Amino acid sequence: MTIQSKLSPLAAVAAFAAALAAEPALANEPPLQNVVSLSASATVEVNKDLLNVTLSTTREGTDAGTVQAQLKQALDAALAEAKRVAKPGDIEVHTGNFSLFPRYSQKGGINGWQGTAELVVEGKDIPGIAALTAKISTLTIARVGSNLSREQREKVEADVAAQAIARYRAKAAEYAKQFGFSSYVLREVNIGSNEPVMYAAAPMARMKTMGAADESLPVELGKGSVTVSVNGSVQMTK
């Protein structure tokens, strides 16, 4: 008994194409043998050179417009102070989070409003940024962090990559030898570096509070790390 196909011509073509796609690209090529997957990495510690300070303030009241106006006034004053010393790369300034949300009573009704405004100062002029934070009186320090600038990272990234590649090649040669082969051929290799870490929150003891003396923020940037990883596979050869 013959079963008639109910596929439309378009569906039949699609099914045929899918079947072809499922076939190996090189049907006549023998399967790869003696292939080993490897990974290697290298890490170098570098002095951090980028400081990030987030200053913020909160306001609350019964009228949303009033709270918003108070936040804007505090932020405008801080911006005006920061822009006096702002310089691309050395001291850069931009606004952060600006939010306003209702406060609810136990019965579920809105009984007030609360808002937050932030200003972010970052750059390589560490003394300048530290001194600026002492001059801003309408916001307080919420977070302080440090990181590597792109320039600082790029200075060492090529050297770290060379170390990682050398380790990868040495590992490939050693594995080939241990398996009884004389050499190897690279099949595929992926090289990547670690992404910059997020800024860490500063300890509360190091944060400036309202009414504190006009002192610069104590800063110790510490060290960061640049890591390059090499992943891929090699085919061992006689």
Residue 182 has pLDDT above 60, yes or no: yes
Q: Is 212 helix (H, G, I), strand (E, B) or coil?
A: coil
Pick from 220, 50, 213: which is nearest to 133 by CA? 213
pLDDT tens-digit profile of 61-103? 999 999 999 999 999 999 999 999 999 989 999 999 999 999 9
Residue range 202-214: mean pLDDT, rounded: 41
Q: Do 55 and 143 belong to one domain? A: yes
**Are residues 41 and 76 located together in one domain of the fold?**
no
| pLDDT beyond 70 at 22 | no
Of residues 214 and 101, the one with the higher pLDDT is 101
Q: What is the rounded distance in angstroms from the CA atom of residue 60 to the CA atom of residue 113? A: 5
**Structural domain boundaries, residue 73:** 50-147
- CATH no. for residue 237? 3.30.110
pLDDT at position 217 over 60: yes
Angstrom distances, CA of residue 56 to CA of 7, 125, 156, 211, 231: 66, 21, 35, 15, 43
Looking at the fold, whether 158 and 229 belong to one and the same domain comes out as yes
CATH of the domain at 98: 3.30.70.2970
Please say which residue of 89, 112, 147 terminates a domain. 147
pLDDT in tens, 108-143: 889 999 999 999 999 999 999 999 999 999 999 999
Q: Name the residue among 144, 133, 114 with its Cα closest to residue 54.
A: 144
Please check whether residues 186 and 78 belong to one and the same domain. no
Q: What are phi and psi of 62, to 5 degrees?
A: -85, -20
Query: Does the residue 66 lie in any domain?
Result: yes
Residue with tokens 């003891």: 205
Please indicate, yes or no, whether residues 98 and 153 belong to a single structural domain of this protein: no
Q: Give domain status of residue 3, yes or no.
A: no
26 located within any domain: no
| CA distance linking residue 111 with residue 63, whole number of Å | 9
Burial 28-50 (b: 16+ CB within 10 A, else e): eeeeeeeebebebbbeeebebbb
Residues written for the chain: 238
Per-residue pLDDT at 24: 52
Q: How far apart are CA 142 and CA 53, in angstroms?
A: 8
- Give the tokens for residue 36: 């080993």
Question: What percent of the chain clears pLDDT 90, i.e. is strictly above it?
Answer: 66
In a domain, 155, yes or no: yes
The answer to whether residue 21 scores a pLDDT higher than 50 is: no
- Examine the domain organization and report whether 162 and 94 are in the same domain: no
Residues 56 and 116 in one domain: yes
Residue 52, beta-bridge partner list: 122, 145
Indicate if the pLDDT at residue 1 is higher than 50: no
Q: Indicate the number of domains in the chain.
A: 2
Residues 159 and 71 in one domain: no
- Rounded mean pLDDT of 48-72? 95
Range 22-46 average pLDDT: 79
Which amino acid, one-letter code, is at 209?
A: T
Same domain for 191 and 102, yes or no, is no
Query: Do the domain assignments include residue 81?
Result: yes
Evaluate if residue 5 carries a pLDDT over 70: no
Please, which residues have CB within 8 angstroms of residue 148's CB and are 6 or more apart in sequence? Answer: 46, 48, 49, 50, 196, 224, 226
Q: Is 50 exceeded by the pLDDT of residue 9? A: no
Candidates 200, 154, 195, 157; CA nearest to 51 is 200
* pLDDT recorded at residue 144: 93
Q: Which two tokens stand for residue 14?
A: 């699609």
Q: Cα(29)–Cα(51) distance, rounded to whole angstroms? A: 56
Q: 108, 131, 147: which is the final residue of a domain? A: 147
**Per mean pLDDT, which range of 182-186, 207-211, 228-232 is the poorest?**
207-211
- Please tell me whether residues 155 and 188 are part of one structural domain: yes
